[in-house]
């Protein structure tokens, strides 16, 4: 029996290739990103942990199981359908999500057109998978498996295989399989949820055939290719917006894998591929102190500490001993969720974060040279203008290397959605818009959706200016001295817009005060923010990729070099040390004779 576990294509582009692409499987916050021309892969790309683990479990059960990640491959719909026709699977397991649901149902219908006898199984982060009406409305889907789906999907596939030759494949009545919805006659049956799986009983996720070089969570400049794994699932805290505990696990139970098994998985994969970093993608890595210290000890013992790695953690659960042990084991960066500077708001949403401890631990984290990424959210229930202003001030005042400002998105199935629905704050039930990035789908008593969107823009501007403002007079002198030692007056200098635009703006202002002919290489979406700072004829604009990918920009850069004969190139970094900027530096050398200065986002000349 052939089974395909699929993260199916999800994008929309026009004739020029401009549009958006989706991030779905493996993401706690399914969302869309702009795409440009050939740029269908790049930036943040989560590993499809549930799909890949389900595939490995089914393979262990004797099924011919394959996982295909069309999102990470940048695969188009036509190419995916050709693959489906060639592989001819007996069943396809599709991980869906709220914002991708309409797209995924269209893909399911197309599969049924190509292979009418193929069984379609839906799973993933969407609340309607728990409702009998879902199968009644969508005949293209044969089964729905809600919640944490690896084990129940495996049970279902085994039952389908074993039913052949007796009662046919469909309909298949399976009252013993938890988390399952299936049709019986004209009705739909919903089976109760099964107990959460013991993580030690799960195999390592299947990775063969997946594009290992695509998966990436930067976290302050971690390098790619990156291995993404998990060591725990769940979180005992009850944040009303957090999707996986509420929709995938239906529980706040914290489960741990044996630390030695996690480290063996890291070691085995590092031996297979040239990974330059790894990321432990736990909901909250540091809930159990003993687990954290054991992980640090084993990573060091297995001589893996030379590989930089990152985690997502809770700041007020950290202590100095844990951080020192993690640093000693090679921890490079981490994410702390702060969300708000208003303690009452934090308590109301279930975060229950100790802000004083957060400030202390962030300070210590930076003191021992672990990079810090912070997240903040606007549009929480009791947010006020004053509270959001204080949150932005807090973000600008903390010693973080990078930040993320988000609009609160009440995903269906969460306590936040129920609260906002009861209060009349939900502004749309168009699931396509529930992507957490393009627009707000709710308001509060104090804000409209549009006002929340403006606050996110303002927050990024103020944080970027605060970081650029940290550049000391000593830096300005060193920057000027560096250029004057390597360039003659009147030389042409190319500045790349490859970091936060506020940093690039500050460097451009400084270059404009010097005796050089300054040029700027930038993507079309940034033209407006540099208008007035540089003459239009000195802005060299590209549109076929969202970032500085060498294969897509090599010819463009070579043309600039031939035409302008730049004396050197200046590169701003969005992190302190330029990690992950290999492709940008290749483009810089293609465009100019030499990189004369690279500047970190903390206002230091890196190289």
Mean pLDDT per 10-residue interval, the chain, length 607 residues: 97 82 91 77 88 98 97 94 97 96 97 96 94 94 96 94 63 76 90 93 96 88 91 92 90 94 97 95 95 97 96 94 97 94 92 91 94 92 92 92 89 92 91 77 87 89 81 83 92 93 90 94 93 94 86 94 94 84 92 90 83
Distance of CA 163 to the CA centre of its chain: 40
Which long-range contacts (C-beta less than 8 Å, at least 24 apart) are formed by 501-505? 501/464, 501/526, 501/529, 501/530, 502/461, 502/464, 502/465, 502/467, 502/468, 503/464, 503/467, 503/468, 503/572, 503/574, 503/599, 503/601, 504/530, 504/572, 505/468, 505/529, 505/530, 505/533
Is the previous residue joined to 148 through a cis bond, with omega within 30 degrees of 0?
no
Output the pLDDT for position 43.
Answer: 78
Output the pLDDT for position 66.
Answer: 97
The whole-angstrom separation of Cα 31 and Cα 582 is: 27
Is the previous residue joined to 102 through a cis bond, with omega within 30 degrees of 0?
no
The whole-angstrom separation of Cα 390 and Cα 347 is: 16
Measured between alpha carbons, how far apart are the two ends of the chain, in Å?
56
Output the pLDDT for position 418.
Answer: 94
What the block records as the tokens of 422 is 């009861």
What the block records as the tokens of 330 is 């090679």
Closest CA to 223 of 582, 601, 600, 497: 582
**Which domains, and CATH codes, for the chain?**
2-190 (3.40.50.2300), 216-469 (3.20.20.70), 473-599 (3.40.50)
Q: Please check whether residue 32 is in contact with residue 213, taking contact to mean a CB–CB distance below 8 angstroms.
A: no
Closest CA to 349 of 254, 260, 404, 414: 414
Q: Which residues pair with 491 in a beta bridge?
A: none
Q: What is the pTM of this model?
A: 0.90
């Amino acid at each position: 029996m052939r089974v395909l576990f699929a993260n199916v294509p999800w994008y929309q582009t026009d004739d020029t290739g401009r549009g958006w692409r989706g991030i779905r499987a493996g993401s706690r916050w399914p969302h869309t990103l702009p795409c440009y021309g050939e740029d269908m892969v790049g930036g943040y790309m989560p590993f499809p942990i549930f799909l890949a683990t389900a595939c490995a479990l089914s393979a262990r059960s004797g099924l011919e199981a394959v996982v295909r990640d069309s999102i990470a491959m940048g695969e188009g719909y036509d190419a995916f359908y050709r693959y489906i026709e060639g592989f001819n699977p007996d069943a396809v397991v599709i991980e869906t999500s709220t914002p991708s649901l309409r797209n995924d149902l269209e893909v399911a219908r197309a599969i049924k057109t190509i292979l009418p006898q193929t069984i379609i199984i839906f799973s993933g982060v969407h609340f309607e998978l728990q409702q009998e009406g879902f199968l009644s409305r969508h005949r293209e889907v044969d089964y729905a498996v809600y919640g944490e789906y690896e084990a129940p999907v495996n049970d279902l596939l085994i039952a389908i295989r074993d039913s052949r030759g007796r009662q046919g494949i469909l309909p298949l009545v399976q009252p013993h399989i938890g988390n399952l919805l299936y049709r019986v006659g004209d009705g739909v049956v919903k089976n109760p949820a099964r107990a959460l799986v013991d993580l030690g009983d799960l195999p390592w996720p299947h990775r063969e055939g997946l594009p290992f070089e695509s998966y990436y969570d930067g976290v302050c400049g971690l390098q790619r290719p990156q291995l993404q794994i998990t060591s725990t699932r769940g979180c005992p805290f009850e944040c009303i917006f957090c999707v996986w505990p509420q929709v995938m696990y239906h529980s706040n139970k914290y489960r741990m894998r044996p630390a030695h098994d996690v480290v063996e998985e890291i070691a085995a994969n590092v031996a297979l591929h040239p990974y330059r970093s790894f990321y432990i993608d736990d909901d909250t890595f540091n809930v159990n102190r003993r687990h954290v210290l054991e992980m640090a000890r084993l990573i060091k013992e297995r001589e893996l500490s030379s590989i930089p790695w990152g985690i997502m953690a809770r700041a007020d659960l950290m202590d100095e001993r844990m951080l020192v042990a993690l640093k000693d084991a090679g921890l490079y960066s981490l994410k702390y969720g702060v969300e708000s500077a208003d303690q009452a708001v934090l308590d109301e949403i279930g975060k229950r974060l100790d802000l004083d401890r957060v400030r202390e631990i962030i300070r210590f984290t930076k003191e021992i040279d672990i990079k810090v990424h912070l997240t903040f959210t606007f549009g929480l229930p009791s947010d006020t203008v004053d509270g959001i202003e204080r949150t932005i001030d807090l973000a600008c005042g903390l010693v973080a290397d990078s930040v993320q400002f988000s609009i609160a998105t009440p995903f269906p199935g969460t306590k936040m959605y129920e609260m906002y629905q009861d209060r009349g704050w939900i502004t749309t039930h168009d699931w396509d818009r529930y992507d957490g990035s393009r627009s707000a789908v709710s308001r509060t008593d104090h804000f409209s959706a549009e006002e929340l969107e403006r606050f996110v823009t303002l927050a990024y501007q103020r944080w970027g200016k605060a970081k650029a403002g940290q550049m000391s007079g000593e830096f300005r002198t060193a920057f000027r001295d560096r250029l004057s030692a390597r360039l003659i007056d009147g030389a042409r200098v190319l500045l790349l817009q490859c970091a936060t635009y506020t940093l690039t703006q500050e460097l451009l202002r400084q270059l404009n005060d010097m005796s050089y002919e300054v040029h700027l290489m930038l993507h079309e979406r940034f033209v407006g923010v540099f208008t007035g700072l540089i003459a239009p004829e000195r802005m060299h604009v590209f549109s076929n990729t969202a970032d500085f990918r060498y294969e897509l920009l090599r010819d463009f850069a070579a043309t600039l070099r031939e035409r302008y004969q730049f004396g050197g190139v200046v590169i701003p970094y969005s992190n302190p040390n330029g990690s992950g900027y290999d492709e940008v530096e290749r483009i810089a050398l293609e465009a100019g004779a030499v990189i004369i200065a690279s500047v970190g986002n903390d206002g230091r000349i890196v190289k």
